[in-house]
Amino acid sequence: MHIKLKSLVSKLLVFIIFSTTGCQYNRVNTKKRPNIIIFFTDDQGYADVGCYGAEGFETPHIDRLASEGVRFTNFYVPATVCTPSRAGLLTGRYPKRYNLHEAVLFPFSEGGLSLNEYTMAEMLKDNGYTTSIIGKWHLGHKEEFMPNNQGFDQFYGVPYSNDMDHYYYKDIDFQSPPLPLYRNKKLIESGPDQDYLTKRYTEEAISQIKSRGKKPFFMYVAQNMPHTPLHASPAFRGKSEKGLYGDVIMELDWSVGEIVKTLKEQNIYDNTIFIFTSDNGPQIGSAKPLRGKKAQTWDGGQRVPAIVVWPDNIPKGIVSNEFTTSLDLFPTLAKLSGSRLPHDLKLDGLDISNYLLHPESIKLPERPFYFYARNGDLEAIRMGKWKLHIEKSLGWPLDKNGAFPVSLYNLDVDIGEKNNVAGQFPDVVAELTHRVKEFEMELQ
């Protein structure tokens, strides 16, 4: 009798838990939960994709992907450089919240993404997904911070940027080792030939897709390219009119195509959410017609190409001007995968799942977005059509113009941030400045 009573109580508790967390589930049929692939490139600019206006090279596979889902023209990342942008993607939270917002991690760094942070991989793994990362991690190379301790079942790739390969940091007299290539926690190669990294990552992704189990999978393909130094395999060298940079992008496009082709051959493409985007603006590529580049809080540093496809559920051929960010992917994928989230988890991203499913009938709300510079300072805010810059550490010739003037731009009519209208709209300047101060106080 005691055992039966205990069983009854347990069942009642389970019923209560699922009843109170039911709002965390999406109405999409979760009996056949989607596979999820995030294809994340490194330093690929806003105009470094054919359908975004690329010149000198073609990206037919990415363009075809865009025609099969939603292509965003107002998609931002929460940082101008690698580490904090990747942290924001995987946590749905501003990196300032866990002190990973300044610069990037180096081979001599001791820290990494806090183990107190709940990653996208942990969320999906906790809800029945297998999880893997292929490519660049850059959230801490010490074992405690590596992917297998952050929710990923599998890791095949490198712990930081390809330019850190055997690099000598003369200011601190530190010699980096040859770029380490890992499979899970095991170092399998030192200083791999970078000409073949894109190809090897692609082959690994294909292999994992073909050998998948019965569970839905989450795959984070974080390519090293087109971060400098540029590398392409012999099959792609000389392919483009834009030299090696164009060759590199064309190989990344090939990679997207090979993965999509495999998904189709395995008859799982229609129920796979495929997301293509970049970690920040370009170092040597193009962000036209945006102002600025990587490491700058002008839009060229943080507005990036982004495409979301899910053939079974997302309409085709949508070009969206709605404001969205990589922080939105965490809560959105939680909803679309039918996953539960901890009740005390504070996310900065917005669940845009209903918009993705019905982009022609839903409008997203206006909300503030904060731009943190490479030095860790909060330099700008966007709200609706307005973007206010309050200071500038990079991308402004201080030696010629003196102190940076508070600058306001109407991005609806001035996408290149050329016409400062702060003097014409003092109320907007005051309101956005107040929001910046409030947000900084919140994060102290």
Here the tokens at position 126 are 């906790």
| Contact yes or no for 348/442 (Cβ under 8 A) | no
* pLDDT category of residue 339 using cuts at 50, 70 and 90: very high
Look-up: residue for tokens 């990653």? 119
Q: Is the dihedral of CA 88, 92, 95, 98 positive or negative?
A: negative
Q: What pLDDT, on a 0 to 100 scale, did the predictor assign at position 12?
A: 37
Residue 29 pLDDT > 90, yes or no? Answer: no
* Per-residue pLDDT reduced to its tens digit, 261-304: 999 999 999 999 999 999 999 999 999 999 999 999 999 999 99
Q: Which one from 138, 141, 227, 231 is the annotated catalytic residue? A: 138
- What is the pLDDT, as a whole number, of residue 193? 98
Q: Other CB atoms closer than 10 Å to residue 271's CB: what's the count? A: 17
141 is an active site residue: no
* Total Cβ atoms within 10 A of residue 267: 8
Say if residue 308's pLDDT is above 70: yes
Spell out the CATH class of 35-357. alpha beta
Quick one: pLDDT at residue 421?
98
Residues 6+ apart with CB under 8 A from 2: none
- pLDDT average, residue stretch 242-257: 98
* Cis check: omega of the bond before 226, within 30 degrees of 0: yes
E strand or H helix that includes residue 247:
helix 243-265
Residues contacting 23, CB < 8 A, separation 6+: none
Q: Are strands 318-320 and 70-72 parallel, antiparallel or unpaired?
A: parallel
Averaged pLDDT score across all residues of the chain? 92
pLDDT tens across 105-144, in order?
999 999 999 999 999 999 999 999 999 999 999 999 999 9
Contact 62, 307 (CB under 8 A): yes
51 tagged catalytic: no
Q: What is the pLDDT of residues 32-57, one digit of tens each?
A: 899 999 999 999 999 999 999 999 99
Per-residue pLDDT tens over the stretch 311-330: 999 999 999 999 999 999 99
Task: Please tell me which residue in 82, 141, 227, 231 is annotated as part of the active site.
Answer: 82
The residues pairing with 315 across neighbouring beta strands, listed in sequence order, are none
Burial zone of 157 (CB within 10 Å; 0-12 exposed, 13-18 middle, 19+ buried): buried
Indicate if the pLDDT at residue 22 is higher than 50: no
Strand stretches in 137-286, DSSP E? 154-158, 168-169, 174-175, 180-183, 186-190, 217-222, 272-278
Task: Residue 157: name the closest of 174, 176, 141 by CA.
Answer: 141
**pLDDT at residue 30 tops 60:** no
Predicted pLDDT at 403: 84
Per-residue pLDDT, averaged over 18-32, amounts to 44
- Mean predicted confidence (pLDDT) in 87-114: 97
CATH number for domain 377-442, candidates 1.10.357.10, 3.30.2450.30, 3.30.1120.10, 3.40.50.150? 3.30.1120.10
pLDDT of residue 4: 34
Q: Are strands 35-41 and 272-278 parallel, antiparallel or unpaired?
A: parallel
Q: For tokens 């064309």, name the residue.
A: 250
How many other β-carbons are positioned within 10 Å of the β-carbon of residue 443?
12
Is pLDDT at 397 greater than 80 in this prediction? Answer: no
Q: Tell me which of 21 and 424 has the higher pLDDT.
A: 424
- Domain residue extents for the chain: 35-357, 377-442
* Whole-number pLDDT of residue 400: 56
- What pLDDT band is residue 23 in, cutting at 50, 70 and 90? very low
Percent of the chain with pLDDT over 90: 90
CB atoms under 10 Å from CB of 115, counted, come to 12
